[in-house]
Structure formats: structure tokens, C-alpha cells
Amino acid sequence: MKGSRPVLWHISVSHYNEKARWALDYKRIPHRRRGLPGGVHMLAALLLTRGETVTFPVLVLDGKGIGDSTAIIGELERRWPDPPLYPEDPAARRRALDLEDYFDEELGPAIRLVGWHEMSRAPERLAELSADFLPPGVRDDPRAAAAAGRYAAAFTNARYGVKNEEAAERSRQKVLAALDRLEAELDGGDYLVGDRFSVADLTAASLFYPLALHPDAPSLGKLPEALERWRAPLAERPGGRWVAEIYRRHRPPPVG
Ligand SMILES: N[C@@H](CCC(=O)N[C@@H](CS)C(=O)NCC(=O)O)C(=O)O
């Protein structure tokens, strides 16, 4: 299948998936998207990457499945270098990749856990969010939506332990630490590395999208009250405002 259009296998609400979508859109790479509900996607990821990963996103390029958003961006950068996401200068590039790694490892799992923790405690909100993954014929059936919500709560608890209050509190602290670090690294500037947009900004903004909820980011619907109470003041911090601004300036619409 050499030369065929790349296919991104993704989960619509997932922030790591948003990171890969943003990179494809930023580079204006024509591709197709295939969405799957969380949980079901793990078998697909295993098959698409021939056993290498159980996570989405997976990008299929020339018949080969590439798992992990960082590896996907690395391959996009190699094949479609313009516009670049990696700085040219080696020291700046190292810094950008280190920041990508920091936000991937420290922020990504923590903000996901906080989000699912609060969603799991608000079954009606979770049912609404999960209904989007149902086929059109059953999407409007409240019992099907509630069942999809229960499945999402069970899956995220089994996989990430989202019901655990102590884990949620540790994760809230990690998100705060990541926001502190973001603001310290920016030091009042527009970009994390040098004076232009790079993979570091794309990673921080996409993984922080649930904080800023910019209209161009994935929609999470109406948030549970507790989640909104936690999120709203953080969105007003300089780091939260920066995420919204980076979305406004650098998140292009999806490539058709
Ligand atoms: N390091 C991976 C993380 C991706 C990831 O954790 N994806 C989640 C969805 S948000 C997933 O597929 N989780 C399934 C699992 O953890 O087994 C990346 O950057 O792509």
C-alpha cells in the first residue's frame, strides 16, 4: 500500500490523539481518520502495530502501523519536514523534545485521571459523553447511553484506577506542577523554545486542552460541576490562557 493516504486511528476525546491530529493538520497532510471507542481500541492498536502497542493514536503509513504520538510526529517530521515542528538548531531541538517528553509523561496521564475521576462520579454527564461513541441508531436511547457510560467508567477504572480518590489527588497536584512548569518555561514569552511554534508548544497545548477548552479543541460537552470548579480557575492562569492562545494561533482546521 505504498503511497496510499495515511490513516489515523484515534479516540476523539483523547488528548494524546489530539496531539497527533494537530500535527497532521498543522502539516496539512491529507489523511483519513477512523475513530473507535476507548477500550475496544486496544485490540485494534495491537493488530495495527503487530503487537507493539495497545494505545491510540496509531498512524498507518504505507501499510505500517506506528503507535505513540511522539513516534508519529517523528515520522511525520521525517517525511513532511515543512512546516517544521522540530527546531533546526540541535540544542533547541533537544530542549523541544525534552519538553515533549515531560508533558507526555507527567501531564498526560495525570490530567486524564482527574478528568475520568470526576466523570465517573457524574453518571449522567458520562452517559452523554459516551453516547457519541454509539452507532447513530441507538445514540438517542438513554438506556444505551447509560450502559456506554457504565462501560467507560469500568474500563477507565480497570485500566487507570480512576475511582481512587488518593490517585486523583496526586494527579491534581501533578497537573498543577505541570502548569507551574509551563509558566516557568514560558517566562512571559510566547513559545516554549525560541521564538516560534514547535512540537513542545503543540504537546503542552494539546495535553492541556481539557483545561482551556478552546472551541477548536475536542468538545467534552457539559462538564461535571466538580470538574468545572477545578478547571475554571486554572484556565484563567497565564498557562491556561496561553493554551487557548496557542490553539487560536496555531491549530488549523482538519485537513479534508
Ligand atoms: N505515550 C502514548 C500514550 C497514548 C495513550 O495513553 N493513549 C490512551 C488513550 S488516551 C490509550 O490508548 N490507552 C490504552 C491503554 O493505556 O492501554 C502516546 O503518546 O501516544
The string of pLDDT tens digits covering residues 176-234 is 999 999 999 999 999 999 999 999 999 999 999 999 999 889 999 999 999 999 999 99
N-term to C-term CA, the chain: 21
Question: Would residue 28 be called left, alpha or beta, if left means φ above 0 and alpha means ψ between -120 and 50 degrees?
Answer: left
Question: Would residue 187 be called left, alpha or beta, if left means φ above 0 and alpha means ψ between -120 and 50 degrees?
Answer: left
Residue 13, pLDDT score: 94
Residue 140, pLDDT score: 87
Residue 173, pLDDT score: 98
pLDDT at 134 over 90: no
pLDDT at 1 over 80: no
Query: Hey, whose CA ends up nearest to atom 8 of ligand 1?
Result: 55
Residue of 56, 70, 171 to mutate, ligand 1, most atoms within 8 A of C-beta = 56
The CA distance from 125 to 131, in Å, is 10
- Give yes or no for residue 157 CB within 6 A of ligand 1: no
The CA distance from 43 to 67, in Å, is 13
pLDDT at 3 over 80: no
Q: Which three cell numbers stand for residue 167?
A: 490517585
The CA distance from 7 to 32, in Å, is 5
Residue 133, pLDDT score: 85
The CA distance from 151 to 249, in Å, is 37
pLDDT at 94 over 90: yes
pLDDT at 2 over 70: no
- Give yes or no for residue 40 CB within 6 A of ligand 1: no
Residue 177, pLDDT score: 98
Residue 137, pLDDT score: 84
Residue 52, pLDDT score: 96
Ligand 1 atom with least separation from CA of 14: 10
With beta carbons less than 8 A apart as the criterion, state whether 81 and 73 touch.
Answer: no
- Give yes or no for residue 69 CB within 6 A of ligand 1: yes
Q: How far is the CA of 43 from the centre of ligand 1 (A)?
A: 13
The CA distance from 203 to 158, in Å, is 26
List all residues 6 or more positions away from 232 whose beta carbon is below 8 Å from its beta carbon: none
* Domains defined along the chain, listed by start: 7-79 (3.40.30.10), 90-250 (1.20.1050)
pTM of the predicted protein model: 0.96
**Phi, psi for 237 (deg, rounded to 5):** -70, 160
Mean per-residue pLDDT for 39-52?
A: 95
Query: Hey, whose CA ends up nearest to atom 13 of ligand 1?
Result: 55
